């Protein structure tokens, strides 16, 4: 059955930072590419006029064009400006939503994008429902989807009070990246992986998402979140789910969501000794940060998935700020051959073959295999065989995700049961944990994170340079 496309886009928080950095550039790109031709209604409580909003939009897309080295597209912006409308008002005032209902006019299936703090979700959802703006509508909410299991459950109850689950789109821009989507495709479009993609052949898996910069002007936000909530609970656990899930039973995003949820449900809840928390030198001096803050800017953890496929295989996840590189990478280490026929078959670092997914700053998938050197002796080298690299013309995440939400395609969004199951995994260590350990800027985090993974050969630190076979 064909899902009806939304016929209007309403975005709350139209004067905010997210709208400036992501939403306006995505909307202009969608208009330029022919994927958006409908009323676009910005809503905010800023005392602005429509003229001011259009100027803000122009500044946004002009800056985005400059940052990407492109020219400002006057024709595309003229179309965006013509579609733009504005509703200014207090989210606690029913008159704001009554005005919105009037501005929507003949639109019967609006998409409401809540680019606002989660604390306002309940207020806005209630206002939409009371004004009749939620009827036959869809809603998009930005992460974080709660701060813990209890708040996530409350958020889901709030959303479900006005919208059915298939009309709720929990957006995480990370899932819209081409490299993340390729994990799912690579796993299930190829048959050679399946025989080895399990506890019999996989020794361990590690996932790294590193940034070489600090919290910058986001100190107050980071004090309420920390690395575990901001990155591990959503981005990295979503990656784990894509790597660990069983083959979907049928073609469709519903089947993918079901298998991802099963992975979260099979994860063993974390305990304090499974987690190493760190804080980069100087974090407590950042604006908006408490002088005695124990918030982590680095987090490494050891995770187990108690399923038939992955029983006993350790998964190591880490992320942090002010690290040595800005990169995201997955490494799936395979077990060595059962018999050592050649003296050099065990690598100097103790690692056997592996599969590597580079997610950023460039994307690639590589297989590492040993190849014999020329000569009489049975001595070889481990070489990486590149399968795919960065491709031109990749669609930016927000453009893709907003387009999918308008079309009712939930493939790249997160479902209610998966959100709550992921919180179950991290909930035990959100408040009960060891103190954050200091680490030097430009390092790979506190040394205790190395101890966590020592039994499995240590961390593989992503390097921006690459060698090819």
Note if 434 is an active site residue.
no
Sequence-ordered strand ranges (E) for 31-91: 40-44, 84-88
Element (H, E) at 24: helix 24-32
% helix, strand, coil for the chain, step of 5: 40, 20, 40
What's the CA gap between 275 and 273, in Å, rounded?
A: 5
What's the CA gap between 353 and 196, in Å, rounded?
A: 12
How far is the first Cα of the chain from the last one, in angstroms, to the nearest whole number? Answer: 48
- Which domains, and CATH codes, for the chain? 8-142 (3.40.50.720), 175-396+415-456 (3.30.360.10)
What's the CA gap between 326 and 316, in Å, rounded?
A: 18
Residues with pLDDT less than 50, the chain: 348-350, 465-469
Q: What secondary structure does DSSP assign to 358-377, as a single string?
A: EEESS-EEEEEEEEEPSSSS
What's the CA gap between 450 and 306, in Å, rounded?
A: 24
pLDDT, tens digit (0-9, with 9 covering 90-100), for 274-330: 999 999 999 999 999 999 999 999 999 999 999 999 999 999 999 999 999 999 999
pLDDT, tens digit (0-9, with 9 covering 90-100), for 46-64: 999 999 999 999 999 999 9
What's the CA gap between 374 and 142, in Å, rounded?
A: 55
Annotated active-site residue in 45, 235, 257, 433: 235
Q: Is 288 left (phi over 0), alpha (psi -120 to 50) or beta?
A: left
Query: Which string of b and e fits 234-257 if b means at least 16 CB within 10 Å?
Result: bbbbbbbbbbbbeebeeeeeeebb
Element (H, E) at 302: strand 298-304
Q: What integer pLDDT is reported at residue 218 of this predicted model?
A: 86
Q: What integer pLDDT is reported at residue 131 of this predicted model?
A: 95
Torsion angle, alpha carbons of 290, 292, 293, 294, to 10: -170
Q: What integer pLDDT is reported at residue 172 of this predicted model?
A: 82
């Amino acid at each position: 059955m064909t899902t009806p496309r939304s016929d209007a886009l309403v975005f709350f928080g139209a004067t905010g930072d997210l709208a400036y950095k992501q939403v306006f550039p995505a909307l202009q790109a969608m208009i330029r590419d022919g994927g958006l031709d409908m009323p676009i209604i910005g809503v905010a409580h800023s005392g602005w006029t429509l003229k001011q909003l259009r100027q803000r939009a122009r500044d946004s897309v002009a800056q985005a064009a400059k940052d990407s080295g492109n020219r400002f597209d006057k024709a595309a912006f003229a179309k965006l400006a013509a579609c733009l409308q504005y509703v200014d008002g207090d989210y606690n005032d029913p008159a704001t939503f009554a005005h919105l209902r009037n501005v929507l006019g003949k639109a019967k299936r609006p998409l409401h994008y809540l680019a606002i703090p989660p604390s306002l979700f309940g207020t806005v959802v209630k206002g939409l429902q009371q004004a009749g703006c939620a009827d036959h509508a869809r809603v998009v909410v930005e992460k974080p989807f709660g701060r813990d299991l209890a708040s996530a459950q409350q958020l889901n109850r709030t959303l479900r009070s006005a919208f059915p689950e298939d009309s709720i789109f929990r957006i995480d821009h990370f899932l819209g990246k081409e490299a993340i989507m390729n994990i799912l495709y690579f796993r299930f479009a190829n048959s050679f992986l399946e025989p080895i993609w399990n506890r019999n052949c996989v020794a361990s898996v590690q996932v790294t998402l590193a940034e070489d910069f600090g919290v910058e002007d986001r100190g107050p936000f980071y004090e309420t979140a920390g690395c575990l909530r901001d990155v591990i609970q959503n981005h990295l656990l979503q990656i784990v789910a894509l790597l660990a899930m069983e083959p979907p039973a049928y073609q469709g995003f519903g089947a993918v969501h079901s298998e991802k949820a099963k992975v979260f449900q099979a994860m063993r809840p974390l305990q304090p000794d499974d987690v190493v928390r760190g804080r980069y030198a100087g974090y407590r001096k950042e604006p908006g940060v408490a002088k005695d803050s124990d918030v982590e800017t680095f987090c490494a953890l050891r995770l187990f998935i108690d399923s038939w496929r992955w029983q006993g295989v350790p998964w190591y996840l880490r992320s942090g700020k002010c690290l040595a590189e800005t990169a995201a990478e997955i490494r799936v280490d395979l077990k060595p051959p059962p018999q050592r026929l050649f003296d050099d078959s065990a690598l100097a670092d103790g690692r056997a073959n592996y599969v590597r997914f580079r997610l950023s700053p460039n994307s690639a998938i590589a297989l590492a295999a040993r190849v014999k050197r020329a000569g009489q002796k049975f001595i070889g080298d481990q070489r990486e065989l590149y399968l795919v690299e960065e491709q031109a013309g990749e669609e930016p995440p927000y453009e893709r995700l907003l387009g999918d939400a308008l079309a009712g395609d939930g493939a790249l969004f997160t479902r209610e049961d998966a959100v709550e199951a992921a919180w179950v995994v991290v909930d035990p260590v959100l408040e009960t944990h060891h103190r954050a350990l200091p680490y030097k800027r430009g390092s790979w985090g506190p040394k205790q994170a190395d101890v966590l993974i020592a039994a499995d050969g240590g961390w593989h630190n992503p390097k921006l340079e690459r060698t090819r076979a």
